[in-house]
Structure 1
């Protein structure tokens, strides 16, 4: 059987790192097995789904390099869900319910107060035809629930190991809303069957959903033992809080805007939750070859945002000039990139050093007499990599200074910073006229 996996986000917000983890693990699983990766937009929630978020999801995945082989939108497949619902209806696996959201909420409050199980009490299943007609005469429209069998449901999870639930402990899920639209619970199963999904790899917040959906799979004619199931633990931040797209925490959009490279995000997320080191940058091919779903444990991995920044810096330090040329200021050449690269955390930080070399700087003047002597000894142009060494050797001989007392005042005058790229590389790019002006205390 061809391996086919899916990433099925709802277009109700921007992708965050938790979403991307689901997409990436599915993508790596497909690539490792020579299978297919399906992007399916679960957009049957009319009130919350928006086209701008659908477009953003595709944009973010492309930027990350997670390319899909197949594409589907649930809003294009409503007739398939209607047909599946009729099949369930014909076999008495669904039933109409007429409670309003407020009534259901009050019922749950009563269950909590009474210490009972917070599951639907199947009141809809006991309604007579005359009661249903009375509700409809009031203008109520039914929602439909799937009738779970009160039997054990078990599977061998590829990450969690043996999992088991009893149908009596679960609520009959709503499969059709009052507006006639299918819920995720039904639509997802129909898609997984009809689109040939072989493995469902998703977060552990779906474990209970899986127990419910296994029964729907079986009711629609597909045995649960034909599907590989894996539920990975959810990422939390360093404080133990879950990531939420509604809060916009660590969204791909915000990370991209902050100058974080796609490859740094992928490298970190691919290993988070495994024993593999998370500070290694690899090619996509190497990530695929080293991937195994069995590497992921059951404990919830914590994500330190500083790990992303550190990994990004490591990646930037390896990027060749050709990979960043289009993102550098006009006129910045390979020599400039190689000079400043070791001091960058983000590619965009190069702009600061370009402005320092070609723009104006307010020099830091600590010892005017020393700097005046240094200015007198400035060699003529042209300048190269050796100029800094020749010049400072002459200044040392004339002033008797050495070490920090020699080099720091010169760096502060020329760059207004105590640290930065090697001066032997910066000095030729600053040029003699700017160097002289800064040594004299002039903004240049």
Structure 2
């Protein structure tokens, strides 16, 4: 059966490259197996969720090349979650609790002092109806916990109960659900926590594989139990390693510099982001790719390391430069025109190997066609005067450079660096850059003569 996967961001901010890693793992897994990719906005947090963030996330995914087969919003499905909660209450596995946050914190502190794990002790199950009525008369409203199936007959006597699964990335995994508190599914204000809507959606939308970061591993045992309590077979789970900042800290939406929007604004190519986010921390070497389909052929869960992967912006920028050097003219023609860069494919092919970003081509266009401050050493002035005298007439093409330098070598006896470096410094003002054979026709004869003579611009007329 073809996989159905989902990427489920909360629209409370812009997504960063770590979020992109999860989205890409899902997309590539489905893409390589003829499956479907769903974008689900987990927007039940009415206070923090914003439509503009949802729109921005969708735009970021489009920029990466990810096109969802379906889009869902949890805010449209609240009645479905209410119905599921009702079924759980009817089965007796969703029960009301009345402790305040402060009371729960005190309970946990007492348990730690006694050397016990800070797990909820299910005391709310012992409340009589009259006691619950009295608490509600005080103004307390219950939050609702899911009763984990970790006991034989008495819920207040949990015993070791391991729920296991075969993880796509981590192999055989197991969680002892007696070591954890019954999760809260419904808050006292009636809103839902992440767990119930997520499980209900995965059931209703036919999700076959849940691929997410390994910070969710400990949640999986309780979620599998909830799937079964709702009468559904759990999907296949896969928990991949996370991206960390170079300092070792977790990536966060608060770090705007690593958002996809910021990387795009900085001129990073979407395929560079996709390749880096996918291949870092795997058995594959980080390298440029020509398409997401090519990347899909490289991706496999078993190639992903278990240890966290460290993200370094300079490594992404280096990959971006390698990718830009491979881009065909057709892929950048519109952007070059918007930047006021002419020269067509010949100019792009001449300079692309010397760019960090596509927009950097603007600098070389200005060097080729605009004013440049030549770097002329006093010791090279006679040589440059000889070079000016031997400059071929126009029209110029790709062979002009070799014809010119061949004559100059024969006339002056210079060769190698002694021949080429003074010419490069005079023509571009820089000691490195694109091959001058390709760049020279765009500089043109008037500009070349002026720069050989130490002028920053061609003579008027």
TM-score when normalising by structure 1? 0.92
Tell me the equivalent position of 2:438: 425
User: Secondary structure of 2:172's partner?
Assistant: strand
Tell me the equivalent position of 1:364: 375
Tell me the equivalent position of 2:425: 412
Tell me the equivalent position of 2:221: 211
Q: Partners of 1:93 and 1:172 in 2: how far apart?
A: 10
Q: Is the 8 A contact 2:10 2:43 kept in 1?
A: yes
Q: Deviations over 1:57-91 (max 9, x none)?
A: 10111111111111111000000000001111111
Tell me the equivalent position of 2:232: 222
Tell me the equivalent position of 2:62: 62
CA apart distance, 1:113: 4.5
Alignment of 1:101-140 (within 5 A): 101-140=101-140
The answer on 1:165 being equivalent to 2:178 is no
Tell me the equivalent position of 2:156: none
Q: Partners of 1:71 and 1:326 in 2: how far apart?
A: 30
Q: Deviations over 1:86-123 (max 9, x none)?
A: 11111111122233334434444444454431222324
User: Secondary structure of 1:33's partner?
Assistant: coil
CA apart distance, 1:318: 1.6
Q: Is the 8 A contact 2:271 2:288 kept in 1?
A: no
User: Secondary structure of 2:323's partner?
Assistant: helix
Tell me the equivalent position of 2:454: 441
Alignment of 1:340-351 (within 5 A): 340-351=351-362
Q: Partners of 2:417 and 2:28 in 1: how far apart?
A: 51
Tell me the equivalent position of 2:98: 98
Q: Partners of 1:353 and 1:379 in 2: how far apart?
A: 23
Q: Partners of 1:13 and 1:421 in 2: how far apart?
A: 41
CA apart distance, 1:249: 5.4
Q: Is the 8 A contact 1:267 1:282 kept in 2?
A: no
Q: Is the 8 A contact 2:162 2:176 kept in 1?
A: yes
The answer on 1:21 being equivalent to 2:14 is no
Tell me the equivalent position of 1:4: 4
Tell me the equivalent position of 1:188: 198
Tell me the equivalent position of 1:312: 320
CA apart distance, 1:442: 2.3
Q: Partners of 1:253 and 1:110 in 2: how far apart?
A: 46
> Judging changes above 3 Å, is the alpha-carbon distance between structure 1 residues 105 and 370 closer, same or farther for their aligned structure 2 residues?
farther
> Judging changes above 3 Å, is the alpha-carbon distance between structure 1 residues 103 and 416 closer, same or farther for their aligned structure 2 residues?
farther
Q: Is the 8 A contact 1:243 1:249 kept in 2?
A: no
Q: Is the 8 A contact 2:164 2:174 kept in 1?
A: yes
Tell me the equivalent position of 1:234: 242
User: Secondary structure of 1:144's partner?
Assistant: strand
Q: Is the 8 A contact 1:16 1:244 kept in 2?
A: yes
The gaps in structure 2 that reach 5 residues or longer are 151-160
Alignment of 1:244-323 (within 5 A): 244-248=252-256, 250-323=258-331
Q: Deviations over 1:368-387 (max 9, x none)?
A: 44333433433332222222
Alignment of 1:141-152 (within 5 A): 141-150=141-150, 151-152=161-162
Aligned pair partner of 2:346 in 332, 335, 350: 335
Aligned pair partner of 1:178 in 188, 196, 199: 188
Q: Deviations over 1:142-167 (max 9, x none)?
A: 22111112233222222222222222
CA apart distance, 1:398: 4.1
User: Secondary structure of 1:15's partner?
Assistant: coil
Q: Partners of 1:249 and 1:215 in 2: how far apart?
A: 39
Aligned residues: 442
Aligned pair partner of 2:397 in 377, 381, 384: 384
Q: Partners of 1:361 and 1:115 in 2: how far apart?
A: 74
Q: Deviations over 1:381-413 (max 9, x none)?
A: 222222223333343444443322222122111
**Which segment is superposed worse, 123-132 or 17-26?**
123-132
> Judging changes above 3 Å, is the alpha-carbon distance between structure 1 residues 249 and 140 closer, same or farther for their aligned structure 2 residues?
farther
Q: Partners of 1:354 and 1:134 in 2: how far apart?
A: 79
Q: Partners of 2:446 and 2:389 in 1: how far apart?
A: 13
